């Protein structure tokens, strides 16, 4: 994964409460960073309010590779893209990066599988064609 291939980025402020006993960001906090970036991505892509709880997907899987520690005061950006669109799911890729001097350093890479879900019926559902079109146009994907 290369950050230049991502069209969306979210700045994250590292808080003192994000740190662990080793004085770097706790591995579990990366999930929160990814969540913030996903909400920001979908809010901007579909012109939704960021405080809306009207989600149509659930997380089926998250993989994270931790590459470099993040410390209090680091400038963090999460790069987000959808790399694959299926009938009922999408793969969301993230790069969590920190700025060190004049370079961007990858702190983590992640892939999240989101499955579209109907909360009323409790079953998976097809991704609406309008959503597929919006995503594919933004990301340059073919569906």
Is pLDDT above 60 for 53? no
pTM for the model stands at: 0.91
Q: How far is CA 73 from the centre of its chain?
A: 21
- Identify the band that residue 52 occupies on the pLDDT scale cut at 50, 70 and 90: low
pLDDT of amino acid 48: 74
**Cβ atoms of 127 and 88 closer than 8 Å:** yes
Share of the chain above pLDDT 70, in %: 96
- Identify the band that residue 142 occupies on the pLDDT scale cut at 50, 70 and 90: confident
Mean of the per-residue pLDDT values of the chain: 93
Q: How does 77-101 read in b/e, with b if 16+ C-beta sit within 10 Å?
A: bbbbbbeebeeebbebbbbbbbeee
All structural domains of the chain, each given as residue ranges with its CATH number in brackets, are 3-139 (3.10.129.10)
Indicate the angle between helix axes 129-139 and 29-45, nearest 10 degrees.
100
- Identify the band that residue 47 occupies on the pLDDT scale cut at 50, 70 and 90: confident
Is pLDDT above 70 for 49? no
Q: How far is CA 41 from the centre of its chain?
A: 7
Share of the chain above pLDDT 90, in %: 84
Average pLDDT over residues 58-62: 97
**Residue-wise pLDDT tens digits, 81-108:** 999 999 999 999 999 999 988 899 999 9
CA distance 4 to 92: 16
CA distance 27 to 30: 6
pLDDT of amino acid 56: 86
């Amino acid at each position: 994964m290369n950050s230049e291939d991502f069209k969306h980025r979210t700045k994250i402020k590292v808080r003192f409460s994000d740190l662990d006993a080793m004085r770097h960001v706790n591995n579990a906090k990366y999930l929160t960073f990814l969540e913030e970036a996903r909400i920001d991505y979908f809010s901007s892509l579909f012109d939704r309010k960021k405080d809306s709880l009207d989600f149509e997907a659930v997380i089926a899987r998250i993989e994270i590779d931790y590459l470099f520690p993040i410390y209090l005061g680091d400038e963090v950006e999460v790069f987000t893209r959808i790399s694959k669109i299926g009938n009922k799911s999408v793969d969301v890729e993230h790069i969590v990066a920190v700025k060190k001097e004049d370079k961007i350093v990858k702190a983590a890479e992640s892939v999240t599988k989101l499955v579209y879900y109907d909360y009323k019926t409790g079953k998976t559902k097809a991704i609406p064609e309008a959503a597929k079109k919006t995503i594919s146009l933004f990301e340059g994907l073919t569906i």
